[in-house]
Structure 1
C-alpha cells in the first residue's frame, strides 16, 4: 500500500507491506548514536528493512486498536500512547531530565486514494489524535496538552482515484473515529497508570 508518514525509518510517501514499532529505552538512545543508521541495521537484521517503522519508549504491550466503518470505508487504527513529554501546541515545556514518551498511530484504510486524498486523511488523523489528547484533559504549565513532542502518524491506503477524504466524507468519518478511539483509549490508560501530576504543580 502507499504509506504516508514522518516515521524514523522510511518517512515520506512510500510503498510498504507493513508498519512496525520498535520499543526502546531512553538509555538506548545516547546523544552520540546515529539513530537512523542504528534502526536501519536492526531492521535489516530481521529482514524488515522495507517496513515503515516507529520508535517508542512506550511498552508496546500497551497498544490500543480501533476499527470504524462508514459507508464502504473501513478504517483500522493501532496506537501506542505515552504522554511523558506532552506539549501544548505553540508552546514548549522544558523536558530536561525527563523520560520521553510519544504517540505513534498507524491508520489503514480499505479505500483507493490519490496522494491529495491521502494528505487530507493525514490531517484528519492528526486532528483526531489532538482531540483525543485534549479530551483526557492533561494540564501543563502552558495549558491543556494537545500531543507530545515526538508524535508520529502513518496512514496507509491503496493507490487510486478517490480524491476527497474530508470530514464530510465516509473516509474522513471512519478515519477520524478509528484514530480518536484508539488514542483516547491509550491516553486514558496512560493517565490512569503512569501520570504523577508532572508539570501540573502536583
Structure 2
C-alpha cells in the first residue's frame, strides 16, 4: 500500500494565511501586476468543490473607468477603500456552471443534465461552492504576499446590471487587493474559543 505524507506549513506560513493575516483597509501605491493577479487564480483553483463544480468567476477591475463604475455600487463606507486599491476582484457565481461539467467531471458527464433539470439543486450547489471558492481566493491572495480586503457591503444587483447584464453571473463578494498602506488594520477582533465551537463524539 502506498502512503503519502503531507507537508506541514511552518509557523511563518500559518501566520501569513491565518493567525497574522488581517483585512486591509488602506493600500500602498505599489502596483499589483497582471501576473500576480493571474497567479492568485492559478493557486485558488486547485481547492476542492463538490463534484468539482467550480462555479466561481472572477472579474478584475483596475483603476479608471471600470473602477468608477464599480465604486458607485459600493456602500458609502467602502467606496474610498475600493477606489484606492491597486486591484479589485469582483467574485461572482456562474448560474450555468453545469455547462462545464463534462470537462471538469469527465467520468460523470451526465451530471450536467441532472443540474440542468433541477433549478433548486443547481442554485444551491452554485451558492455553496462559489462561497467556498471565495474563501480559497482570499487565502491565495495572502499566500502570494498581498493583502486582501473582502467586503460584502455593496449593491449586488447594481454590480450585476453594470458588469454582468446577461444575468448569468451573480456577484457575491468584492475583494480589494494590494500591499498594506498607512494604518491598514483595525484592532484585532476576538475569535471564538475552542470550547465554544468544537465538540467531540
TM-score by length of structure 1 reads 0.30
TM-score by length of structure 2 reads 0.31
- RCO higher in 1 or 2 (8 Å CA, sep ≥ 6)? 2
Structure with greater helix share of residues = 2
Larger Rg belongs to: 2
Structure with greater strand share of residues = 1
